[in-house]
Amino acid sequence: MPLRSGTAFAPGQFVRHPDRPDWGLGQVQSAVGSRVTVSFENAGKVLVDALVVRLEEIPEADLDSGTAGPRSSARRG
């Protein structure tokens, strides 16, 4: 489910880039205004403008059930 553009991102949150599925699962590192730094499995750290890219939130429940695809190496726990 897409998030509202430029809002509500928090460090630790898991996301995917809708136009770059090959980047894999990403974890938000920081969010300042519309600038969101995400560490992706296959693309490394990327600065995303959330006013331009509508990152897709991956709920924790999907991570635990395995429906989100491969887990990030940055995954907690």
Mean pLDDT of all residues in 49-66: 88
Mean pLDDT of all residues in 11-31: 97
Has residue 14 got a pLDDT over 90? Answer: yes
Higher pLDDT, 9 or 68: 9
By the 10 Å C-beta count (0-12 exposed, 13-18 middle, 19+ buried), 13 is classed as buried
pLDDT of residue 70: 53
Has residue 34 got a pLDDT over 80? Answer: yes
Mean pLDDT of all residues in 30-44: 96
pLDDT of residue 7: 55
> Given the structure tokens 């809708």, which residue do they identify?
18
By the 10 Å C-beta count (0-12 exposed, 13-18 middle, 19+ buried), 55 is classed as buried
